[in-house]
Amino acid sequence: MSPPWRTILLCSCDDTMSPDAERVARVCRGAKIDTAHQLCRAELERFRAAAAQDAPLTVGCTQEAPLFAETAPDADIIFANIRETAGWSTDAAAAGSKIAALIAAAAEPMPPTPIVSLESDGVILIYGRDEKALEAAALLKDRLDATVLLTKPGEIAPPRVTDVPIVAGTIAAAKGHLGAFELTIDDYAAALPSSRAHLAFGAPRDGATARCDILLDLSGGAPLFPAADLREGYLRADPRDESAVLRAVMKAGDLVGTFDKPRYINFTEDLCAHSLANRRLPTLPRFVPNGGDRARQRLCRDRRAGVRRLRQLCGRLPDRRRLLRAAARGRADAQAAHLARRLPRGRRGAADFAAARRESR
């Protein structure tokens, strides 16, 4: 008798849930199903016996995965979370199908996750309003290439020694990510070395550009990016919260080197509906724009064939006869009338308009 293709261990977790072993067996045909009451403690020997077999093993528990992996380091084991996702849910009594699906899905091979490599050389821009930004720069100057950008600074005492460059300005636009931030700065001005009682700056100018690998925002204003917490390399903290500022500074100090991140979006142009329409549009009759004040676009020589083909592509091209009829009856809005005028004209278009006027009478 050939061994089962997989052994599945289902645990009731001290009878706090009831996995349906029969339903799992119907879904995972050919697998050997074993159930347990406390697989991670009192019945750990049952796990060792199952792991010692030649068949790969699926364990319906992720909380104790480190323990199982340590107990059988050479076994082929995968883990499925059936407790929090199904067994402990409010619909646990009807979760048998979901548990079976989770167990079956765990055994399916997954394609490799695409990776994006982000390079950071440690160039950081600290964006703030007051001495907090200068203090952050003092903590990072030995680890990173720091620059301080003060937005609308007040009376800030100049440092005794200029360890890091200090400039003034307001970030008008920001884009990029860890290792590739690009900033547009208005009211940009460098600090004057002759600053005495407080920092003074030169003549400001708009539209200055800057690039950095890390952006530490201590300005206390609105985030520079939407979903700022998900922007790699952009760190933001309330300058009034000293512990939050210190955490951001410590995190910034570690952002040097190469970082591999999963690619969350994979755009395939050939699968895009708009690109499909764009590839098919050239197959229509010629699309010829006419110049001059009376410029209008002639979609195709054969109106009926052109409208039919465009409707097949997007299904939204308005019918000239219908629009003209509505306009003649006074029920068309400005947009409908505008679209009607842009559709192909000629003898047939004039006949359509005349017919519409007759019908409206």
In this predicted model, what pLDDT tens digit does every residue of 168-210 receive, in sequence order?
A: 999 999 999 999 999 999 999 999 999 988 999 999 999 999 9
Higher pLDDT pick, 264 / 358:
264
Adjacent-strand bridge partners of 173: 184
* pLDDT on residue 243: 95
DSSP 8-state symbol, 88: T
Q: Distance between CA atoms of 297 and 303, rounded to whole angstroms?
A: 12
Determine the Cα angle at 95 with ends 11 and 77, to 5°. Answer: 40
Q: Which residues contact 356 (CB under 8 A, 6 or more apart)?
A: 321, 324, 325, 327, 328
Q: Helix, strand, or coil here: 57?
A: strand
Percentage of the residues of the chain whose pLDDT score is greater than 90 = 52
Q: For the chain, percent helix, then strand, then coil, each to nearest 5?
A: 35, 20, 45
Q: Quick one: pLDDT at residue 92?
A: 77
CA-based end-to-end distance of the chain: 88
14: left (phi over 0), alpha (psi -120 to 50) or beta: left
Question: What is the spatial distance between Cα 99 and Cα 28, in angstroms, rounded to a whole number?
Answer: 11
What are the two backbone dihedrals, phi and then psi, of residue 148, each rounded to the nearest 5 degrees? -105, 130
At residue 300 the predicted structure's pLDDT band, cuts being 50, 70 and 90, is very low
- What's the pTM value of the predicted model, to 2 decimals? 0.57
Helix axes 334-342, 320-328, angle to 10 degrees: 130
Q: Which amino acid is at 227?
A: A
